[in-house]
Structure 1
Amino acid sequence: MSSSPQPEPPALAAATAMFVEVLVVGIGALTAAVLLLIAIIGPATTVKLAPVAGSSAAAGAGLAAAYALGILVDRAADAALTPHRRRLRSRFFPSNTAYAQARLRLADFPVLAARADYARSRMRICRGWTLNALALTLTADLVILRYSLEHRPLVLAATTTFGVSAAFGFYRAWRALTVTGYRKLVEQTTPTVNQPLPAQPQPSPASP
């Protein structure tokens, strides 16, 4: 009996992976939003609201807010990087139709498709955290300027340098993952043209 093809990942597992992916991006966006709020309300009000932030209700609301913000940041990052992504894709696929056909052909190989999905998940996380890193840098700088800190210029410079470097690192990771994904898609779905030619029958020697 021929072995049956490997089943595709269950829909529940795919949905769970997508939920975690959006949540990872949303947690960074929520942190930036909280830092902005802290910078606006000031030290005295922050101390008063601290016990409320540690309650179970606040934790549940924070989880829901992180998921919602994750969707928004993911869409915003995708819109911002779409022109660059299309330029990268044009290096491997001449048209959107060619790219769509390659994706369809890859679906015939569940193992390769699962690896591609995992790579795209990492790409989307790096894409979202490119914006998150910039937002966290800006809001952290606002908090540093609002609160009394020793060596404020040094802390501000270090925070800004680290944040901008992290944003650039996430962008470079997104670009590398995107290019690698397109290249592998071409390699895995394009038929090999340099196949060895079959041996030609040799003429039998003429009889004397």
Structure 2
Amino acid sequence: MTQPTQPETPALAAATAMFVEVLVVGIGGLTATATLLIALIGPTATAKLAPVAGSSPVVGAALAAAYALGILIDRIADTTLAPSRRRLRTQYFPSNDAYAQARLRLADFPALAARADYARSRMRVCRGWLLNTVVLTVSADLAMLRYSFEHRPLTICVTTMFGAATALGFYRAWHALTVTSYRKLAEQTIPGTPVPAQPQPHTALS
């Protein structure tokens, strides 16, 4: 008799989710790096290298590089946003110890802990792609400056505006997810503790 498939353990599921998350962020960083390389070497060299880009060894190396870049980008983005993150955390937790204790208490409730992990995963993707968007926009503008095509100034202007709007969108998403995560953690682990009122949309970034 065929044995039933064993359910995926929470640790394995978390590790898989983390791998995908880092890869998603890293692919953006790798794309920005490739675009910057195109801007540096110019159209002639790019045309010569294009046939090689689709080979299996290059694709494999690209995936490995994307994963490594994802880790680096996540650390840079986390360091950049750390002051804002600490400021938001102090609205709900007076100290790092209080926050750590709340995280430990939440671990006693697997369903709530899984939801919190999912929220933190989305936060990390948003902060990583905030940095990716900025670098992608700059590298795309530089690449377009190396190529001659119709309406180039307009295209560069539109690309820059779209990149700035997208970066702002990722920041606002990260900000909202971070605030919600801290608020829910406080409500779920410190019953009866007053939670500060949420800021109005027009003051959320002040």
Q: TM-score, normalised by structure 1?
A: 0.88
Match of 1:67 in 2: 67
Q: Contact 1:77–1:127 (CA<8 Å) still a contact in 2?
A: yes
How much does 1:193 deviate? 7.3
CA radius of gyration, larger in:
1
**Distance 1:160-1:166 versus aligned 2 partners, 3 A rule:** same
RMSD between aligned residues: 1.6
Q: Contact 1:85–1:178 (CA<8 Å) still a contact in 2?
A: yes
Match of 2:197 in 1: none
- 1:91 aligns to what SS in structure 2? coil
- 1:137 aligns to what SS in structure 2? helix
Q: Contact 2:35–2:143 (CA<8 Å) still a contact in 1?
A: yes
Deviations 1:57-103 (A, max 9, x none): 11000000000000000000000000110000000001111101100
1:86 paired to 2:86: yes
For structure 1, list consecutive stretches of 5 or more residues without a partner in the other structure: 1-6, 195-208
Letter in structure 2 aligned against 1:140: A
Percent identity, aligned pairs only, is 73
Aligned mates of 2:112, 2:10 — CA distance in 1: 16
Deviations 1:135-184 (A, max 9, x none): 00000000111101110111000000000111110011000000000000
Q: Contact 1:88–1:179 (CA<8 Å) still a contact in 2?
A: yes
Match of 1:129 in 2: 129
How much does 1:12 deviate? 1.4
Match of 2:43 in 1: 43
How much does 1:191 deviate? 2.3
Match of 1:198 in 2: none
How much does 1:192 deviate? 3.5
Match of 2:143 in 1: 143
Letter in structure 2 aligned against 1:98: A
Count, aligned residues: 188
How much does 1:9 deviate? 4.7
Q: Contact 1:23–1:70 (CA<8 Å) still a contact in 2?
A: yes
Moved over 4 A (4+): none
Aligned mates of 1:142, 1:175 — CA distance in 2: 30
Q: Contact 1:106–1:112 (CA<8 Å) still a contact in 2?
A: yes
Letter in structure 2 aligned against 1:100: A
For structure 2, list consecutive stretches of 5 or more residues without a partner in the other structure: 1-6, 195-206
Aligned mates of 2:42, 2:123 — CA distance in 1: 37
Q: TM-score, normalised by structure 2?
A: 0.89
